[in-house]
C-alpha cells in the first residue's frame, strides 16, 4: 500500500512538472523599493551576514557580562554560582563560534577574492 501511494505521488509530481507553465521574471525593485540598492543577491547576502555577525557578537558579549554579574551576586550560593558558571561557559563558547565564523568568512574571502565581511555596495 505504501509503495502504491509513493508511486502515485511520484507520477503526480512528474505530471505537474511536465505541464507547468514557464515562469516570467519580475523586476522586484518596482514592488519592493529597497531591493534596488542590492544589484546582486551576493551583495544582499553579504549585508545580512555582516549584520548577523554583529548582532550575534553583541548578544554573546551581553551574555558574558550578565553571567559575570550573576556570578558575582551569587557569592554564597553554590548552586547559583554553578548555574552562572554554566551560563558564562555557554556565552564564551558562543563568542568563540562567532569569531570562528568571522575568520572562516575572512579565509573564504581571501580564497575567492570577494570580501564577505565588508562587500562593496554601490
Domain ranges of the chain: 30-112
Q: What's the pTM value of the predicted model, to 2 decimals?
A: 0.57
pLDDT exceeds cutoff 60 at 122: no
Quick one: what percent of the chain has pLDDT higher than 70? 74
* pLDDT single digits (tens) 12-70: 776 666 666 566 666 666 776 776 777 777 777 777 877 888 898 898 889 889 988 98
**Confidence band for 7, pLDDT divided at 50, 70 and 90:** confident
CB 69 within 8 A of CB 59: no
**Which letter, b or e, does each residue of 92-111 get, where b requires 16 or more Cβ atoms within 10 Å of its Cβ?**
eebbeebeeebeebeeebee
Amino acid at each position: 500500500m505504501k509503495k502504491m501511494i509513493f508511486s502515485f505521488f511520484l507520477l503526480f509530481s512528474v505530471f505537474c512538472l511536465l505541464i507547468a507553465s514557464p515562469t516570467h521574471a519580475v523586476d522586484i525593485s518596482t514592488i519592493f523599493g529597497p531591493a534596488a540598492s542590492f544589484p546582486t543577491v551576493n551583495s544582499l547576502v553579504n549585508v545580512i551576514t555582516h549584520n548577523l555577525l554583529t548582532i550575534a557578537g553583541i548578544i554573546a558579549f551581553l551574555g558574558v557580562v550578565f553571567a559575570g554579574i550573576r556570578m558575582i551576586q551569587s557569592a554564597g550560593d553554590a548552586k547559583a554560582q554553578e548555574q552562572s558558571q554554566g551560563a558564562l561557559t555557554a556565552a564564551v563558547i558562543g563568542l568563540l563560534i562567532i569569531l570562528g565564523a568571522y575568520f572562516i568568512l575572512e579565509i573564504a574571502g581571501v580564497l575567492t577574492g570577494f570580501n564577505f565581511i565588508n562587500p562593496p555596495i554601490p
